[in-house]
Amino acid sequence: MSERPSTNPVYRFFFAVDAWCSSGFYEIRDRFRRMWSAYSALLDRVRIGGPPRLLFELVSDGATLGLLFALGVLYYALPPFSGTGDIWNQGRDYAVTFTDSNGEIIGRRGIRQDDAIPLDEIPQNVVRAVLATEDQRFLKHFGLDIQGTLRALVENLRAKDVVQGGSTLTQQLAKNLFLNPERTLQRKVNEAFLALWIEARLTKPEILKLYLDRSYLGGGTYGVEAAAQFYFGKSIRDVNLSEAAMLAGLFKAPSNFAPHVNPEAARARANVVLYRMLDVGVISQGELLEARRNPAEFASERDHYSPDWFLDWAYEETLATLKTYGLETEYVIEVKTTIDMAMQRTGQTLINEMLDKEGEERHVTQGALVSLTPRGAVKAIVGGRDYEDSQFNRAIDALRQPGSAFKPFVYMAALRAGYHPNTVVYDVPITVGNWTPKNYTRRYTGRTTLVTALKKSYNTIPVHIAQNIGRKAIIQAAELAGLRTKLSPVPSLPLGTNEVTLIDLTSAYAGFANGGHAITPYTVLEIKRPNGEVLYSRDTARPAPPQTLEPELVEELNYMLNQVVRSGTGRRALLGFTPQAGKTGTNQDYRDAWFMGFTAHYVTGVWYGNDDFTPMKRITGGSLPAMTWKSFMEKALETKVAEALPGVPLDDSYARYIARQDEGQEAPVVGGTADELPTRVTVDTTNSRQQVPERRERRADPVVRVLQSMFSLFSGSSSEPSPPPRRAEPPRRQVDSSGSARQRSTPNFSERRRELEDSLR
């Protein structure tokens, strides 16, 4: 038998809860009833009758309704503003002034602003003009000017138009810093709340300084200093009364009264400001007449070339540097850059001239150029034909297939695996899966050397190398050289089918020019405040680029790349007066054409193509890109002294070349494209020995060409410079076609030649 409800613990718990709730509700109701009775008894003792009762009721009801209205306004109009963090710079834009290494201004990005001028250095005429027109009672009110608002209301009613504003200078500052310019009741209430908040935290001089520095004054300028520089070509410290009146007139409507847009309206507005200053007694009648007789003169627009492609990239690097070094709150800065304005102008001019001359006939509409030092300092960036027409930077952002310009990384991987420039390789057909690459000439040479394969840009040899050492070894070599674009190990990787940018490929070639250091291209040398205080210096902040490639292998590769311009596909880029190296590149169907080359002073890459990816008319890397590269480098190196490259010594052949040119003798023939051989007599720059090429019919015979290549292996009278001697080193690892690693000593060409002689016997 179950327990009785009175003794069951569960029932007893619920009974206790019920009793507690009932008694609690009763106590609350009783206490409220007694409080109400006491309140009613108190009111009964205060009896007001007659007219005073009516007034009492109105005041009481008004207070109640006013409190409810105030709470509603507060809920509706409180701005979305926390008041924490870097509140005075919320939503602020950067104002960056760029200079060259000599301190000459080359352009700006972001907004035009300079807040480095102290308030006590701003002329009193400027301050008085602003206060006379914008807020005459600025020093007397607490952020809201009730008297001024009523006066503006009366004047607007009389004129039946908005002729005066009721906002104080503090309210305008609140709008500039925290709000948008839309005209709504909510924004006006927000202004009032924020004006009171600002007045409680800043002094009057601090508010005035912020207002003079942050207000938009037309022409992309913010603040009186930037506006004075832009409109009058002088500092705000040096403006006169008429110029101060014109600047003060801009605060009301900068788009309407900007001098460079509407000079007549700007002068008329300046006269209104002058008369307003006279009315409030801050200038005399004589000063007004003098200012009107000598109105402000605008700074004449100068013919200024702006390197916009370079500045766009430098601005991105500047913002990244500010973030990296915790300088995000430095909004007004001056940046010293690496640019060489003469090289920048030359590059843009050459690209445009070449497109004007060849564009229509050869169906090419765009070109790009990047030039930097072997240590990564960018000297010129040409991102296209016309910046005004298209701001897309083809040198920085366009991903394109480099074609044969990628092959140096394949050959570097081969050298790292144990090959040598004179290693014998075989130019024979090869098939990888369903893909069969072909040479540009559709012919095969057979037995040849690694250096010949590179200078003639054979396509089968890099694929054979990739099959032997593995495609991952090629990707690793490219990364060690400094190529940062992600590469896919597809079968066509050795022929440059992965897309890269021009800046990235040029940077990777810099690794060959500097002896094997992987560099990061840069444009920013220094960042400093307008007062000259240095915030960042690359010399002290950035480490030297690391050594990533073996120097002796870089020397061997540079020797091979030197042969490309001496007697290979890049002959049109031959300078002759200084050691150089380079490589042509042409992708499928002539959609992109490249020439990448370098000397001891500069590494330069040139690209031609079309934005819509349509093919050009047989433009190869050895034609327009190589010709543009040569013209650019000749101009860039005018004041430079020739220096040796790693693997390409500075011998007397360069002096003989210059002497022949000075004497008016015929220079070496450097013309021809990848599928052509010179038909004229050429002068070899290494030993001045003339060579008469065979007739084109004999050269076209593939049997003759194979025999020539075979016998050239055993000839000891080659006119080309010999490759750099191989340094003593331990055996290196090589990856065979099966992908397994094996030990292999450095191949010896003499031993290989004896093996071939024995086999021929």
- DSSP 3-state of 218: coil
Q: Tokens 């074609």 correspond to what residue?
A: 403
Is residue 134 flagged as an active site residue?
Answer: yes
DSSP-derived secondary structure for 366-425: EEEEEEE-TTSBEEEEE-SS-TTT----TTTT--B--GGGGHHHHHHHHHHTT--TT-EE
From the CB of residue 500, how many other CB atoms can be counted at a distance below 10 Å?
24
Q: What amino acid is encoded at 471 in this protein? A: R
CA distances to 416, 422, 518, 645 from 548, rounded to whole Å, are 12, 24, 6, 18
Under DSSP, the state recorded for 596 is E
Query: Is beta strand 581-586 parallel, antiparallel or unpaired with respect to 378-382?
Result: unpaired
Between CA 169 and CA 136 the distance in angstroms is 9
Of 167, 215, 404, 492, which is the active-site residue? 404
From the CB of residue 41, how many other CB atoms can be counted at a distance below 10 Å?
9
- DSSP 3-state of 710: helix
Between CA 749 and CA 420 the distance in angstroms is 8
16: left (phi over 0), alpha (psi -120 to 50) or beta: alpha
Give every CB contact of residue 501 below 8 A, 6+ residues apart in sequence.
Answer: 395, 396, 397, 398, 399, 400, 485
From the CB of residue 364, how many other CB atoms can be counted at a distance below 10 Å?
22
Residues shown for the chain: 761
- DSSP 3-state of 559: helix
Under DSSP, the state recorded for 612 is T
Long-range contacts of 437-440 (CB under 8 A, 24+ apart): 437/463, 437/492, 437/495, 440/586, 440/674, 440/675
Give every CB contact of residue 313 below 8 A, 6+ residues apart in sequence.
Answer: 378, 381, 393, 396, 503, 523
Q: Which of 558, 542, 561 is nearest to 550 (CA)?
A: 558
DSSP-derived secondary structure for 41-84: HHHHHS---SHHHHHHHHHHHHHHHHHHHHHHHHHHH--S----
Name the CA radius of gyration of the chain, rounded: 40
Q: Give the H or E element holding residue 735.
A: strand 732-735
Between CA 48 and CA 163 the distance in angstroms is 49
Give every CB contact of residue 677 below 8 A, 6+ residues apart in sequence.
Answer: 693, 696, 699
Of 134, 330, 358, 552, which is the active-site residue? 134
The residues assigned a catalytic role are 134, 404
